[in-house]
Structure 1
């Protein structure tokens, strides 16, 4: 008796024994359609690249066809054949014969985009297979110095890049593409309220100096303890999240129109402490009173009203302390993929760790962190605001306004940052300089200066790639830790009794 014939299911065949997903017929018909009618190219040029084609000759044909069409020339089997050696063989045919066959296989222009999308999707599946095979191979033969966490983060990075439409392989872009993006940015800034090219901080005087927070920029916000750098960061984060407004694109995805989705890495404070601080800012009730429960019925109602308004704000907090720059990048990619992300805030830079072993040079570790943050800002196409401490040498100077040289491990921070801002409050230093004897000339001079500087903070823009440096004066309400635009008495409209 013969043994029963067993059908081998595809799922039991090793991945390497299977043919990668592809559709050669779709590739041939799309290329033929482009050769017959060059206008077809513009239906797929936004998303289709040579690397998406499965067969190597098809990659070359699409690339050379695109070059001719972009140069304003007609691409046809006859004009294209001169770009191939006469003795070359494509599927046992000469280049001319193969190009003519493509033209005869042409699909209609109506179906061109569908064919292009399928070719792109099959390329994405092939890349997924490649990433999966690499994960398996590395997991089997992992080097001793590569922990599983590092492999997970690397795989997550590659998957994120693949999820970002068409950007998996990277590479150069033409200057004309970059120029088009620049013009679109300028047009958007012209049409946007406030004429900003970047994301508004919610503080107009700061926006005027910076033009908003620019995409892919690394912004360093530095200051000595008690200057208010975390307060300014939380103010900006909440202002952006509260202003968030999005519109639906034709493909069903959301496009941010105003404000943005905010990711906040709070490496020093817990999420509850951060929420209490923001609640204090919005309800205008001192945070120490909120923590003690020392509030009136009216203040409690204000708290409830503020908390209800804040419920729907797209502000996401990660309170994990001591994470590495690689872990931060992986979590930021995950947030962008799952919820969206328009700006990332890191409080603060010196609490991050690099991949270096403990005891290694701290300056090298900070260099790795700032380089990683800048690369992440470009990858996510979002601004990253990283807070930074200043060295103690500020306290030894008579003029305590911070400078670029005061940044801890300043070399890499200053070099990698697109914008460096310092928060400075002279009121803080004057408070500690009050003369012991009241009523003297010295005390009255001190009192006059203290009253003049009370409630005033200075944001010093020490470096800016896209614009001028200089200072911006803001109002600082210390009891609520809130920054806002400064309105001086001499700028108020004239009063009429």
Structure 2
């Protein structure tokens, strides 16, 4: 009895011993995972290529890391309240009075409070409305804001936040060309056709050096799976402290499962759930571009509705914010009447003047705030959005 009493664990040490047991359990799982990776790599099956094996192993390792984190558990309400107060304090101290990532567009910031951490933001529109242009503008503005914050706080480039941009449709060179042209204030066609002047070329060189210093990272790998995208986003967060993620666009991301029996709606559901999981896991806003169905074109009023989202059920459900980009100018410009009908021509010109260079960002869903419409200026030559001189927004609720 004396020996048993001496060998007994004292209550005061129970915390240390439980942590030791937990650590050993995680190590055992790590050994099992290592063996699984080796065995899978030796497997002759061709339907599980090396790239997918790496994605699978990285995903399992990350889940194991989360499992091994003692802090990933229930949180006391007081800690969450403290976080909420700190967010309010950031908004109070911020010159633009927003708590989220700065979009660079004052009226949009005013409605959304900036792009909020852990939010999935869907930016949708029909072709030629300017989805990629708006997303690129927001990403560029956010990168500039991050760079300014890094400098103001005396942080190193590695410590400061950065923007991650997954461009599944355009190449990184095409995206960079758009950014350069907008910053230089001349059409991108002049760059691609070689019609810029020497002065414009000098401006191009100077601006490119400035843009090159921004914390902006582009991945233009085509047909990425949601698992691969998540893996690369984690890496970007770990290496470059990513503060905003943009995905252009949602329908080009592949599901991880690749099960032929799954319908397109099920596949999109897996992708949107994956994007929302990335936003929560990395605690960053994720802006994902999305297509709209052709049903928009059959209506007289072509302003998009939530029901116009392709495979809309899961997109609408998983998103925290759904925004539609709409340019009435695009449709009216294609309805030009005959020159012979002076009355119709006068009415058409009047309508064109009303909508010229004006774009609407319709916030159709906002989980934590108002919905409504923000009017922006759109320069089609520069594919650039900016604040209207006397813009503002009107809220529906």
Place the TM-score, normalised by the shorter chain, in its bin: 0.7 to 0.9
**Partners of 2:154 and 2:55 in 1: how far apart?**
33
Q: Is the contact between residue 425 and residue 456 of structure 1 (CA under 8 Å) also seen in structure 2? A: yes
Map of 1:174 onto structure 2: 76
**How many residues are treated as equivalent by the alignment?**
382
- 2:101 corresponds to 1:199: yes
Task: Please tell me whether residue 316 in structure 1 is matched to residue 231 in structure 2.
Answer: no
Q: 1:349, 1:386 within 8 Å by CA — same for their partners in 2?
A: yes
**Which string of whole-angstrom CA distances, capped at 9 and with x for unpartnered residues, describes residues 208-237 of structure 1?**
011000000000000000000100000011
Q: Who is 1:241 aligned against?
A: 143
CA deviation profile, 1:162-211 (whole Å, cap 9, x unmatched): 77897477332222221221111111211112111111101111100110
Does the alignment pair 1:329 with 2:233? no
User: In 2 relative to 1, CA 438–241 (structure 1 residues): closer, same or farther, beyond 3 Å?
Assistant: farther
Residue 130 of structure 1: aligned partner: 29
After superposition, the Cα gap between the structure-2 partners of 1:141 and 1:191, relative to the gap in structure 1 and judged at 3 Å, is: same
Paired with 2:132 and 2:244, the residues of 1 have a C-alpha distance of: 16
> Compared with structure 1, are the counterparts of its residues 449 and 377 closer, same or farther at alpha carbon in structure 2 (3 Å cutoff)?
same
C-alpha displacement of 1:489: 9.9
Change (3 A) 1:134 1:99: same
1:233-255 deviation digits (Å, cap 9, x = unpaired): 00011111122232799999965
Q: Structure 1 CA distance, aligned partners of 2:19 and 2:210?
A: 43
2:248: which partner in 1? 347
- CA 1:319–1:489: 2 relative to 1, 3 Å: closer
Partner of 1:436: 338
| In structure 1, C-alpha distance between the alignment counterparts of 2:243 and 2:68, rounded to whole Å | 20
Is the deviation greater in 198-207 or in 152-161? 152-161
Deviation at 1:437, TM superposition (A): 2.4
- State the partner residue of 1:479: 381
Residue 455 in structure 1 maps to residue 354 in structure 2: no
Alignment RMSD (CA, Å): 3.2
Query: Is the contact made by 1:160 and 1:337 (CA closer than 8 Å) also made in structure 2?
Result: no
Whether 1:224 and 2:132 are equivalent positions in the alignment is no
Contact map agreement 1:135 1:151 (CA 8 A) in 2 = no
Q: 1:311 to 1:132 in 2, by over 3 A?
A: farther
Work out whether residues 161 and 167 of structure 1, in 8 Å CA contact, stay in contact via their aligned partners in 2: no
Counterpart of 2:110 in structure 1 is: 208
Q: Tell me how far apart the structure 2 counterparts of residues 169 and 233 of structure 1 sit (CA, whole Å).
A: 35
> For residues 293 and 402 of structure 1, do their structure 2 counterparts lie closer, same or farther at Cα, with a shift above 3 Å needed?
same
Q: 2:307 aligns with which of 402, 405, 408?
A: 405
- SS where residue 475 of structure 1 aligns? strand
For the residue of structure 2 that corresponds to 1:246, the secondary structure is: helix
Aligned 8 A contact 1:241 1:313 in 2: yes
**Map of 1:31-70 to 2, 5 A cutoff?**
none
Higher relative contact order (CA 8 A, sep 6+): 2
**1:420–1:461: 8 Å Cα contact kept in structure 2?**
yes
Any idea what the Cα deviations from partners look like across 1:385-430, whole Å, max 9, x if unmatched?
A: 0000000000000000001000000000000000000000000001
Q: Which residue is equivalent to 2:395?
A: none
Q: Does 1:416 align with 2:318?
A: yes
1:93-130 residue CA offsets vs partner (Å, 9 max, x unmatched): 3x7xx247x69xxxxxxxxxxxx9xx989977974663
Q: Secondary structure at the match of 2:136?
A: helix
Q: Distance in 2 between matches of 1:463 and 1:280?
A: 32
Deviation track 1:421-455 (CA, whole Å, cap 9, x = no partner) reads 00000000010011022561111011011011100
CA distance in 2, matches of 1:208, 1:192: 13
Residues 231 and 125 of structure 1: is their aligned pair in 2 closer, same or farther, counting only changes over 3 Å?
Answer: farther
